Amino acid sequence: MPRLELDPNFTDPDAFYAALTELHRECSEAESERINARLILLLANHIGDQQVLEEALSIAGQAASASASQPGQ
């Protein structure tokens, strides 16, 4: 069964980050949220495997819970 790739797998993470931030540069908060939602759905469709997607959701949810419990966050 496929598993979520957690080891660094970017060919150029800095270029991706630059492109992502540029995409959001002139956007309102609502526009950025729509872009992020669409990007999530596009990448989820590309992955396609329900178990991998559920693993990603679980890990993302754990990270959100952990940061919410940190003081000053």
Helix axis angle for 13-24 and 29-47, nearest 10°, is 140
What gap in Å lies between CA 55 and CA 58, rounded to an integer? 5
Quote the DSSP letter at residue 13.
H
Structure tokens that stand for 46 in this block = 């590309």
How many Cβ atoms are within 10 Å of 49's Cβ, its own excluded? 13
Summarised one tens digit per residue, pLDDT across range 10-67 is 999 999 999 999 999 999 999 999 999 999 999 999 999 999 999 999 999 998 778 7
Biggest CA–CA distance in the chain, Å, is: 41
Strands (E), the chain: none
pLDDT of residue 69: 74
